[in-house]
Amino acid sequence: MSPRIVEVRQNVLRKNDELARSLRMRFHASGVFVVSLVSSPGAGKTELLQRTLAEMRVTRRVAALVGDLATDRDAQRLAQSGAPVRQITTGTVCHLDAQMVESALQEWSLDAIDVLFIENVGNLVCPASYDLGEHARVVLMSVTEGEDKPRKYPTIFDTADVALITKIDLAEAVQFNRDEAVASIRSIQPKVPVIEVSCRIPSGISNWLNWLDTRMLQESRGAQFV
Amino acid sequence: MSPRIVEVRQNVLRKNDELARSLRMRFHASGVFVVSLVSSPGAGKTELLQRTLAEMRVTRRVAALVGDLATDRDAQRLAQSGAPVRQITTGTVCHLDAQMVESALQEWSLDAIDVLFIENVGNLVCPASYDLGEHARVVLMSVTEGEDKPRKYPTIFDTADVALITKIDLAEAVQFNRDEAVASIRSIQPKVPVIEVSCRIPSGISNWLNWLDTRMLQESRGAQFV
Protein backbone atom coordinates (compact mmCIF):
# COMPACT_ATOMS: atom_id res chain seq x y z
CA MET A 1 0.00 0.00 0.00
CA SER A 2 1.11 3.55 -0.72
CA PRO A 3 2.05 5.71 2.31
CA ARG A 4 -0.91 7.95 1.42
CA ILE A 5 -3.49 5.17 1.56
CA VAL A 6 -1.91 3.81 4.75
CA GLU A 7 -2.29 7.24 6.36
CA VAL A 8 -5.91 7.66 5.28
CA ARG A 9 -6.73 4.11 6.35
CA GLN A 10 -5.21 4.69 9.81
CA ASN A 11 -7.32 7.82 10.08
CA VAL A 12 -10.47 5.93 9.13
CA LEU A 13 -9.68 3.17 11.63
CA ARG A 14 -8.98 5.70 14.38
CA LYS A 15 -12.34 7.39 13.82
CA ASN A 16 -14.04 4.01 13.73
CA ASP A 17 -12.40 3.05 17.03
CA GLU A 18 -13.66 6.26 18.66
CA LEU A 19 -17.21 5.70 17.48
CA ALA A 20 -17.07 2.03 18.50
CA ARG A 21 -15.98 3.07 22.00
CA SER A 22 -18.94 5.41 22.34
CA LEU A 23 -21.27 2.70 20.99
CA ARG A 24 -19.89 0.24 23.56
CA MET A 25 -20.59 2.77 26.32
CA ARG A 26 -24.18 3.12 25.09
CA PHE A 27 -24.56 -0.66 25.01
CA HIS A 28 -23.22 -0.86 28.57
CA ALA A 29 -25.53 1.88 29.78
CA SER A 30 -28.56 0.11 28.31
CA GLY A 31 -27.47 -3.35 29.43
CA VAL A 32 -27.23 -4.71 25.87
CA PHE A 33 -24.76 -7.55 25.31
CA VAL A 34 -23.45 -7.37 21.74
CA VAL A 35 -21.99 -10.28 19.79
CA SER A 36 -20.56 -10.04 16.26
CA LEU A 37 -20.16 -12.97 13.87
CA VAL A 38 -17.50 -13.10 11.14
CA SER A 39 -16.55 -15.78 8.61
CA SER A 40 -16.02 -16.58 4.94
CA PRO A 41 -19.11 -16.34 2.75
CA GLY A 42 -21.24 -19.43 3.27
CA ALA A 43 -19.70 -20.71 6.51
CA GLY A 44 -23.12 -20.76 8.15
CA LYS A 45 -23.43 -17.51 10.11
CA THR A 46 -27.08 -16.96 9.19
CA GLU A 47 -28.11 -20.55 9.85
CA LEU A 48 -26.47 -20.53 13.29
CA LEU A 49 -28.04 -17.17 14.05
CA GLN A 50 -31.50 -18.36 13.00
CA ARG A 51 -31.26 -21.17 15.52
CA THR A 52 -29.65 -18.97 18.19
CA LEU A 53 -32.37 -16.30 17.95
CA ALA A 54 -35.10 -18.95 18.11
CA GLU A 55 -33.58 -20.58 21.22
CA MET A 56 -32.60 -17.42 23.09
CA ARG A 57 -35.74 -15.39 22.55
CA VAL A 58 -37.62 -17.67 24.91
CA THR A 59 -35.83 -16.05 27.83
CA ARG A 60 -34.22 -12.90 26.42
CA ARG A 61 -35.08 -9.96 24.19
CA VAL A 62 -32.82 -10.62 21.21
CA ALA A 63 -32.29 -8.61 18.01
CA ALA A 64 -29.98 -8.79 15.01
CA LEU A 65 -28.28 -6.60 12.42
CA VAL A 66 -27.02 -8.34 9.31
CA GLY A 67 -24.58 -7.01 6.71
CA ASP A 68 -24.33 -7.89 3.03
CA LEU A 69 -23.19 -6.10 -0.10
CA ALA A 70 -26.57 -6.73 -1.71
CA THR A 71 -29.98 -8.35 -1.01
CA ASP A 72 -31.97 -8.58 2.22
CA ARG A 73 -32.13 -12.39 2.07
CA ASP A 74 -30.40 -12.88 5.41
CA ALA A 75 -32.65 -10.41 7.20
CA GLN A 76 -35.66 -12.24 5.79
CA ARG A 77 -34.30 -15.56 7.01
CA LEU A 78 -33.53 -14.20 10.48
CA ALA A 79 -36.87 -12.39 10.80
CA GLN A 80 -38.62 -15.77 10.70
CA SER A 81 -37.49 -16.19 14.31
CA GLY A 82 -39.82 -13.35 15.26
CA ALA A 83 -36.93 -11.25 16.61
CA PRO A 84 -36.41 -7.67 15.36
CA VAL A 85 -33.91 -7.79 12.49
CA ARG A 86 -32.45 -5.13 10.26
CA GLN A 87 -30.39 -5.54 7.07
CA ILE A 88 -27.39 -3.30 6.42
CA THR A 89 -26.63 -3.20 2.70
CA THR A 90 -23.04 -2.07 2.17
CA GLY A 91 -22.95 -1.72 -1.64
CA THR A 92 -19.31 -2.35 -2.53
CA VAL A 93 -17.98 -2.05 1.03
CA CYS A 94 -16.41 -5.28 2.24
CA HIS A 95 -17.13 -4.98 5.97
CA LEU A 96 -19.41 -3.35 8.53
CA ASP A 97 -18.15 -0.36 10.47
CA ALA A 98 -19.29 1.36 13.66
CA GLN A 99 -21.04 4.13 11.71
CA MET A 100 -23.23 1.62 9.85
CA VAL A 101 -24.12 -0.06 13.15
CA GLU A 102 -24.99 3.27 14.77
CA SER A 103 -27.22 4.30 11.83
CA ALA A 104 -29.00 0.95 11.75
CA LEU A 105 -29.78 1.23 15.47
CA GLN A 106 -31.27 4.73 15.23
CA GLU A 107 -34.90 3.68 15.26
CA TRP A 108 -34.51 1.02 17.92
CA SER A 109 -34.66 1.56 21.64
CA LEU A 110 -31.62 -0.15 23.15
CA ASP A 111 -33.45 -0.44 26.45
CA ALA A 112 -35.77 -2.97 24.80
CA ILE A 113 -32.89 -5.29 23.81
CA ASP A 114 -30.92 -7.73 25.99
CA VAL A 115 -28.71 -9.31 23.34
CA LEU A 116 -27.83 -7.86 19.94
CA PHE A 117 -26.18 -10.03 17.28
CA ILE A 118 -24.31 -8.39 14.41
CA GLU A 119 -23.64 -10.63 11.40
CA ASN A 120 -20.82 -9.14 9.35
CA VAL A 121 -20.30 -9.33 5.58
CA GLY A 122 -18.83 -12.71 4.61
CA ASN A 123 -15.12 -11.90 4.53
CA LEU A 124 -12.21 -13.30 6.53
CA VAL A 125 -9.99 -10.26 6.05
CA CYS A 126 -11.41 -6.75 6.26
CA PRO A 127 -13.91 -7.09 9.16
CA ALA A 128 -10.95 -7.91 11.45
CA SER A 129 -9.87 -4.25 11.56
CA TYR A 130 -13.23 -2.66 12.42
CA ASP A 131 -14.40 -2.53 16.01
CA LEU A 132 -18.21 -2.45 16.07
CA GLY A 133 -18.52 -1.83 19.79
CA GLU A 134 -19.28 -5.50 20.35
CA HIS A 135 -18.46 -7.31 23.61
CA ALA A 136 -17.59 -10.58 21.92
CA ARG A 137 -16.44 -11.48 18.45
CA VAL A 138 -17.19 -14.94 17.10
CA VAL A 139 -15.27 -16.37 14.13
CA LEU A 140 -16.76 -19.31 12.24
CA MET A 141 -14.99 -21.71 9.88
CA SER A 142 -16.74 -24.60 8.19
CA VAL A 143 -15.19 -28.06 7.84
CA THR A 144 -15.39 -27.68 4.05
CA GLU A 145 -12.98 -24.71 3.91
CA GLY A 146 -9.80 -26.57 4.79
CA GLU A 147 -7.98 -26.86 8.11
CA ASP A 148 -5.35 -24.25 7.21
CA LYS A 149 -7.61 -21.17 7.05
CA PRO A 150 -6.66 -19.77 10.50
CA ARG A 151 -2.97 -19.74 9.52
CA LYS A 152 -3.83 -17.98 6.25
CA TYR A 153 -6.19 -15.40 7.78
CA PRO A 154 -4.51 -14.86 11.16
CA THR A 155 -5.88 -11.44 12.17
CA ILE A 156 -9.49 -12.50 12.35
CA PHE A 157 -8.65 -15.60 14.36
CA ASP A 158 -6.38 -13.60 16.64
CA THR A 159 -9.10 -11.09 17.50
CA ALA A 160 -11.93 -13.58 18.10
CA ASP A 161 -13.26 -14.49 21.55
CA VAL A 162 -14.38 -17.92 20.39
CA ALA A 163 -13.89 -20.01 17.24
CA LEU A 164 -16.76 -22.13 15.96
CA ILE A 165 -16.14 -25.02 13.57
CA THR A 166 -19.39 -25.30 11.62
CA LYS A 167 -21.03 -27.96 9.42
CA ILE A 168 -19.44 -30.81 11.38
CA ASP A 169 -22.11 -33.11 9.91
CA LEU A 170 -19.97 -32.91 6.73
CA ALA A 171 -16.70 -33.74 8.54
CA GLU A 172 -16.52 -37.29 7.24
CA ALA A 173 -17.56 -36.43 3.68
CA VAL A 174 -14.69 -33.92 3.38
CA GLN A 175 -12.21 -35.99 5.44
CA PHE A 176 -11.94 -33.13 7.91
CA ASN A 177 -8.88 -33.36 10.15
CA ARG A 178 -10.07 -32.09 13.54
CA ASP A 179 -6.66 -32.12 15.23
CA GLU A 180 -5.08 -30.18 12.40
CA ALA A 181 -7.87 -27.57 12.40
CA VAL A 182 -7.66 -27.02 16.17
CA ALA A 183 -3.85 -26.85 15.98
CA SER A 184 -4.21 -24.27 13.21
CA ILE A 185 -6.58 -22.12 15.32
CA ARG A 186 -4.40 -22.48 18.43
CA SER A 187 -1.24 -21.58 16.48
CA ILE A 188 -2.79 -18.11 16.12
CA GLN A 189 -4.46 -17.80 19.54
CA PRO A 190 -3.38 -20.56 21.96
CA LYS A 191 -6.22 -20.28 24.48
CA VAL A 192 -9.24 -19.42 22.38
CA PRO A 193 -12.22 -21.72 23.03
CA VAL A 194 -13.14 -23.92 20.06
CA ILE A 195 -16.70 -25.22 19.70
CA GLU A 196 -17.87 -27.63 17.01
CA VAL A 197 -21.41 -27.17 15.78
CA SER A 198 -23.85 -28.38 13.19
CA CYS A 199 -27.24 -26.76 12.72
CA ARG A 200 -28.40 -29.58 10.51
CA ILE A 201 -27.90 -32.60 12.81
CA PRO A 202 -28.10 -30.52 15.19
CA SER A 203 -24.98 -30.79 17.36
CA GLY A 204 -22.99 -28.56 19.68
CA ILE A 205 -25.67 -25.86 19.84
CA SER A 206 -26.01 -26.12 23.62
CA ASN A 207 -22.23 -25.73 24.00
CA TRP A 208 -22.45 -22.56 21.96
CA LEU A 209 -25.41 -21.22 23.96
CA ASN A 210 -23.60 -22.08 27.21
CA TRP A 211 -20.53 -20.21 26.03
CA LEU A 212 -22.72 -17.16 25.30
CA ASP A 213 -24.36 -17.36 28.76
CA THR A 214 -21.01 -17.61 30.52
CA ARG A 215 -19.58 -14.73 28.51
CA MET A 216 -22.60 -12.58 29.32
CA LEU A 217 -22.25 -13.38 32.99
CA GLN A 218 -18.57 -12.37 32.93
CA GLU A 219 -19.46 -9.13 31.18
CA SER A 220 -22.30 -8.35 33.57
CA ARG A 221 -19.91 -8.31 36.51
CA GLY A 222 -18.51 -5.07 35.10
CA ALA A 223 -21.73 -3.54 33.80
CA GLN A 224 -25.49 -3.35 33.87
CA PHE A 225 -26.56 -6.59 32.23
CA VAL A 226 -29.44 -9.04 32.46
CA MET B 1 -17.46 5.70 3.25
CA SER B 2 -16.23 9.25 3.90
CA PRO B 3 -15.71 11.46 0.81
CA ARG B 4 -12.00 11.55 1.65
CA ILE B 5 -11.54 7.77 1.60
CA VAL B 6 -13.66 7.51 -1.57
CA GLU B 7 -11.37 10.03 -3.28
CA VAL B 8 -8.18 8.29 -2.19
CA ARG B 9 -9.59 4.90 -3.14
CA GLN B 10 -10.51 6.14 -6.62
CA ASN B 11 -6.99 7.46 -6.97
CA VAL B 12 -5.53 4.09 -5.94
CA LEU B 13 -7.81 2.24 -8.36
CA ARG B 14 -6.91 4.61 -11.21
CA LYS B 15 -3.20 4.05 -10.65
CA ASN B 16 -3.82 0.31 -10.43
CA ASP B 17 -5.73 0.38 -13.72
CA GLU B 18 -2.85 2.19 -15.44
CA LEU B 19 -0.30 -0.30 -14.19
CA ALA B 20 -2.57 -3.22 -15.12
CA ARG B 21 -2.87 -1.87 -18.66
CA SER B 22 0.90 -1.72 -19.04
CA LEU B 23 1.21 -5.21 -17.58
CA ARG B 24 -1.36 -6.48 -20.08
CA MET B 25 0.66 -4.94 -22.91
CA ARG B 26 3.78 -6.71 -21.65
CA PHE B 27 1.89 -10.00 -21.45
CA HIS B 28 0.65 -9.51 -25.03
CA ALA B 29 4.12 -8.67 -26.29
CA SER B 30 5.57 -11.82 -24.74
CA GLY B 31 2.64 -14.03 -25.75
CA VAL B 32 1.66 -14.87 -22.16
CA PHE B 33 -1.98 -15.72 -21.52
CA VAL B 34 -2.93 -14.68 -17.99
CA VAL B 35 -5.79 -16.12 -15.96
CA SER B 36 -6.80 -14.98 -12.46
CA LEU B 37 -8.80 -17.04 -9.98
CA VAL B 38 -11.02 -15.51 -7.27
CA SER B 39 -13.33 -17.06 -4.68
CA SER B 40 -14.18 -17.28 -0.98
CA PRO B 41 -11.51 -18.81 1.23
CA GLY B 42 -11.61 -22.58 0.82
CA ALA B 43 -13.63 -22.82 -2.39
CA GLY B 44 -10.90 -24.91 -3.98
CA LYS B 45 -8.76 -22.53 -6.05
CA THR B 46 -5.48 -24.17 -5.11
CA GLU B 47 -6.72 -27.71 -5.64
CA LEU B 48 -8.09 -26.84 -9.10
CA LEU B 49 -4.87 -25.07 -9.95
CA GLN B 50 -2.73 -28.03 -8.82
CA ARG B 51 -4.58 -30.24 -11.27
CA THR B 52 -4.65 -27.61 -14.02
CA LEU B 53 -0.89 -27.01 -13.83
CA ALA B 54 -0.21 -30.76 -13.87
CA GLU B 55 -2.41 -31.30 -16.94
CA MET B 56 -1.38 -28.23 -18.93
CA ARG B 57 2.35 -28.38 -18.40
CA VAL B 58 2.55 -31.43 -20.67
CA THR B 59 2.01 -29.17 -23.67
CA ARG B 60 2.55 -25.64 -22.37
CA ARG B 61 4.97 -23.67 -20.22
CA VAL B 62 2.79 -22.78 -17.24
CA ALA B 63 3.56 -20.74 -14.12
CA ALA B 64 1.61 -19.44 -11.14
CA LEU B 65 1.52 -16.59 -8.65
CA VAL B 66 -0.48 -17.16 -5.49
CA GLY B 67 -1.65 -14.57 -2.97
CA ASP B 68 -2.34 -15.03 0.75
CA LEU B 69 -2.20 -12.81 3.80
CA ALA B 70 0.20 -15.24 5.46
CA THR B 71 2.03 -18.56 4.86
CA ASP B 72 3.47 -20.01 1.66
CA ARG B 73 1.37 -23.19 1.92
CA ASP B 74 -0.36 -22.70 -1.42
CA ALA B 75 2.90 -22.06 -3.26
CA GLN B 76 4.29 -25.26 -1.76
CA ARG B 77 1.23 -27.20 -2.90
CA LEU B 78 1.36 -25.76 -6.42
CA ALA B 79 5.12 -26.24 -6.76
CA GLN B 80 4.57 -30.00 -6.53
CA SER B 81 3.38 -29.80 -10.14
CA GLY B 82 6.92 -28.89 -11.15
CA ALA B 83 5.80 -25.55 -12.58
CA PRO B 84 7.46 -22.30 -11.45
CA VAL B 85 5.41 -20.85 -8.61
CA ARG B 86 5.80 -17.74 -6.48
CA GLN B 87 3.92 -16.77 -3.31
CA ILE B 88 2.79 -13.18 -2.76
CA THR B 89 2.26 -12.53 0.94
CA THR B 90 0.03 -9.51 1.41
CA GLY B 91 0.19 -9.06 5.20
CA THR B 92 -3.11 -7.41 6.08
CA VAL B 93 -4.07 -6.50 2.50
CA CYS B 94 -7.25 -8.24 1.36
CA HIS B 95 -6.51 -8.54 -2.37
CA LEU B 96 -3.73 -8.64 -4.94
CA ASP B 97 -3.02 -5.52 -7.00
CA ALA B 98 -1.13 -4.91 -10.23
CA GLN B 99 1.93 -3.62 -8.34
CA MET B 100 2.25 -6.89 -6.39
CA VAL B 101 1.97 -8.88 -9.62
CA GLU B 102 4.61 -6.74 -11.33
CA SER B 103 7.03 -7.11 -8.40
CA ALA B 104 6.52 -10.86 -8.19
CA LEU B 105 7.30 -11.21 -11.90
CA GLN B 106 10.55 -9.24 -11.75
CA GLU B 107 12.90 -12.20 -11.71
CA TRP B 108 11.00 -14.22 -14.30
CA SER B 109 11.39 -13.99 -18.06
CA LEU B 110 7.91 -13.65 -19.53
CA ASP B 111 9.22 -15.07 -22.80
CA ALA B 112 9.63 -18.41 -21.04
CA ILE B 113 5.94 -18.59 -20.01
CA ASP B 114 2.89 -19.48 -22.12
CA VAL B 115 0.19 -19.40 -19.47
CA LEU B 116 0.35 -17.59 -16.12
CA PHE B 117 -2.22 -18.29 -13.41
CA ILE B 118 -2.76 -15.77 -10.62
CA GLU B 119 -4.58 -17.10 -7.56
CA ASN B 120 -5.99 -14.18 -5.58
CA VAL B 121 -6.48 -13.91 -1.80
CA GLY B 122 -9.64 -15.78 -0.75
CA ASN B 123 -12.17 -12.93 -0.73
CA LEU B 124 -15.38 -12.44 -2.72
CA VAL B 125 -15.39 -8.66 -2.35
CA CYS B 126 -12.19 -6.64 -2.67
CA PRO B 127 -10.39 -8.47 -5.53
CA ALA B 128 -13.29 -7.47 -7.83
CA SER B 129 -12.03 -3.88 -8.05
CA TYR B 130 -8.39 -4.59 -8.92
CA ASP B 131 -7.39 -5.28 -12.51
CA LEU B 132 -4.24 -7.45 -12.52
CA GLY B 133 -3.65 -7.24 -16.27
CA GLU B 134 -5.21 -10.69 -16.70
CA HIS B 135 -6.97 -11.79 -19.91
CA ALA B 136 -9.56 -13.87 -18.13
CA ARG B 137 -10.99 -13.81 -14.64
CA VAL B 138 -12.40 -17.01 -13.17
CA VAL B 139 -14.75 -16.95 -10.18
CA LEU B 140 -15.25 -20.14 -8.18
CA MET B 141 -18.07 -20.97 -5.77
CA SER B 142 -18.33 -24.30 -3.99
CA VAL B 143 -21.59 -26.19 -3.53
CA THR B 144 -21.16 -25.88 0.24
CA GLU B 145 -21.37 -22.06 0.27
CA GLY B 146 -25.06 -21.76 -0.60
CA GLU B 147 -26.76 -21.02 -3.90
CA ASP B 148 -27.36 -17.33 -3.12
CA LYS B 149 -23.74 -16.14 -3.06
CA PRO B 150 -23.72 -14.56 -6.55
CA ARG B 151 -26.68 -12.35 -5.59
CA LYS B 152 -24.93 -11.32 -2.38
CA TYR B 153 -21.50 -10.65 -3.97
CA PRO B 154 -22.59 -9.34 -7.39
CA THR B 155 -19.50 -7.40 -8.48
CA ILE B 156 -17.17 -10.37 -8.57
CA PHE B 157 -19.68 -12.47 -10.50
CA ASP B 158 -20.39 -9.59 -12.87
CA THR B 159 -16.72 -9.16 -13.80
CA ALA B 160 -15.87 -12.86 -14.28
CA ASP B 161 -15.36 -14.50 -17.68
CA VAL B 162 -16.44 -17.89 -16.39
CA ALA B 163 -18.03 -19.20 -13.18
CA LEU B 164 -16.94 -22.56 -11.81
CA ILE B 165 -19.10 -24.45 -9.34
CA THR B 166 -16.62 -26.53 -7.35
CA LYS B 167 -16.82 -29.58 -5.05
CA ILE B 168 -19.78 -31.02 -6.93
CA ASP B 169 -18.94 -34.38 -5.37
CA LEU B 170 -20.53 -32.88 -2.22
CA ALA B 171 -23.68 -31.71 -4.04
CA GLU B 172 -25.89 -34.44 -2.64
CA ALA B 173 -24.51 -34.22 0.90
CA VAL B 174 -25.38 -30.51 1.10
CA GLN B 175 -28.62 -30.82 -0.93
CA PHE B 176 -27.19 -28.43 -3.48
CA ASN B 177 -29.84 -26.89 -5.75
CA ARG B 178 -28.14 -26.66 -9.15
CA ASP B 179 -30.95 -24.74 -10.90
CA GLU B 180 -31.08 -22.15 -8.15
CA ALA B 181 -27.29 -21.67 -8.19
CA VAL B 182 -27.17 -21.22 -11.97
CA ALA B 183 -30.16 -18.83 -11.84
CA SER B 184 -28.35 -16.88 -9.14
CA ILE B 185 -25.19 -16.58 -11.29
CA ARG B 186 -27.19 -15.69 -14.41
CA SER B 187 -29.22 -13.06 -12.54
CA ILE B 188 -25.94 -11.13 -12.28
CA GLN B 189 -24.44 -11.97 -15.67
CA PRO B 190 -26.93 -13.66 -18.02
CA LYS B 191 -24.50 -15.17 -20.51
CA VAL B 192 -21.52 -16.17 -18.40
CA PRO B 193 -20.45 -19.80 -18.95
CA VAL B 194 -20.95 -22.02 -15.89
CA ILE B 195 -18.81 -25.15 -15.45
CA GLU B 196 -19.26 -27.70 -12.68
CA VAL B 197 -16.09 -29.36 -11.44
CA SER B 198 -14.79 -31.67 -8.78
CA CYS B 199 -11.11 -32.31 -8.33
CA ARG B 200 -11.78 -35.22 -6.02
CA ILE B 201 -13.96 -37.45 -8.24
CA PRO B 202 -12.60 -35.94 -10.67
CA SER B 203 -15.34 -34.43 -12.86
CA GLY B 204 -15.66 -31.54 -15.28
CA ILE B 205 -11.92 -30.92 -15.49
CA SER B 206 -11.82 -31.45 -19.26
CA ASN B 207 -14.68 -28.93 -19.70
CA TRP B 208 -12.62 -26.43 -17.75
CA LEU B 209 -9.46 -27.13 -19.75
CA ASN B 210 -11.45 -26.87 -22.99
CA TRP B 211 -12.83 -23.52 -21.91
CA LEU B 212 -9.26 -22.31 -21.26
CA ASP B 213 -8.09 -23.55 -24.67
CA THR B 214 -10.97 -21.85 -26.47
CA ARG B 215 -10.43 -18.61 -24.57
CA MET B 216 -6.71 -18.67 -25.40
CA LEU B 217 -7.52 -19.24 -29.06
CA GLN B 218 -9.90 -16.27 -29.08
CA GLU B 219 -7.28 -14.09 -27.43
CA SER B 220 -4.54 -15.21 -29.80
CA ARG B 221 -6.48 -13.85 -32.79
CA GLY B 222 -5.71 -10.38 -31.49
CA ALA B 223 -2.18 -10.97 -30.20
CA GLN B 224 0.99 -13.02 -30.24
CA PHE B 225 0.00 -16.22 -28.42
CA VAL B 226 0.98 -19.86 -28.52
Domains of chain B by residue range: 3-221
CB contact under 8 A, B41 and A42: no
Q: What is the mean pLDDT of residues B173-199?
A: 98
CB contact under 8 A, B144 and A142: yes
Q: Residue A4 pLDDT > 80, yes or no?
A: no
At a CB cut-off of 8 Å and minimum separation 6, what does B157 contact?
Answer: B139, B150, B163, B185, B188, B189, B192
Picking from B7, B49, B66, B69 by the largest number of A CB atoms within 10 A of its own CB, the best residue to mutate is: B69
Look at residue A189 in the predicted model and tell me its pLDDT. Answer: 98
Instruction: Note the pTM of the prediction, 2 decimals.
Output: 0.95
Residues of chain B above pLDDT 70, percent: 97
Q: How far is A201 from chain B, CA to nearest CA, in Å?
A: 12
Dist CA B197 CA B212 (whole Å): 14
Assigned CATH for A3-221: 3.40.50.300
Q: Residue B124 pLDDT > 50, yes or no?
A: yes
Cβ pair A118, A35 in contact under 8 A: yes
pLDDT in tens, A57-114: 999 999 999 999 999 999 999 999 999 999 999 999 999 999 999 999 999 999 999 9
Cβ pair A132, A88 in contact under 8 A: no
Of B9, B11, B71, the CB nearest to A151: B71
pLDDT confidence band for B223 (50 / 70 / 90): low
The reply to whether B147 touches chain A by the CB within 8 Å rule is no
Contacting residues of B for A148, CB less than 8 Å apart: 71, 73
Q: Residue B226 pLDDT > 80, yes or no?
A: no
Q: Residue B2 pLDDT > 80, yes or no?
A: no
Instruction: Name the more confident of B5 and A27.
Output: A27
Q: What is the mean pLDDT of residues A35-51?
A: 98
Q: What is the mean pLDDT of residues B156-164?
A: 98
Look at residue A226 in the predicted model and tell me its pLDDT. Answer: 43
CA distances from A197 to A140, A163, A176, B164 (A): 10, 10, 14, 28
Q: What is the mean pLDDT of residues B84-113?
A: 96
Angle between helices B98-105 and B3-30 (to 10 degrees): 40
pLDDT in tens, A83-97: 999 999 999 999 999
ipTM of predicted complex: 0.93
Look at residue A98 in the predicted model and tell me its pLDDT. Answer: 98
Of B42, B126, B174, the CB nearest to A146: B42
Q: How far is B124 from chain A, CA to nearest CA, in Å?
A: 7
Q: Which of B62, B71, B76 is nearest to B118 (CA)?
A: B62
Q: Which of A210, A213, A180 is nearest to A195 (CA)?
A: A210
pLDDT confidence band for A27 (50 / 70 / 90): very high
Interfacial A residues in 84-113 facing B (CB < 8 Å):
92-94
Look at residue A141 in the predicted model and tell me its pLDDT. Answer: 98
Q: What is the mean pLDDT of residues B149-153?
A: 97
Strand partners, A63: A116
DSSP 8-state class, residue A121: P
Q: Residue A133 pLDDT > 70, yes or no?
A: yes
CB contact under 8 A, A123 and B121: no
pLDDT confidence band for A146 (50 / 70 / 90): very high
Mean pLDDT rounded to a whole number for chain A: 95
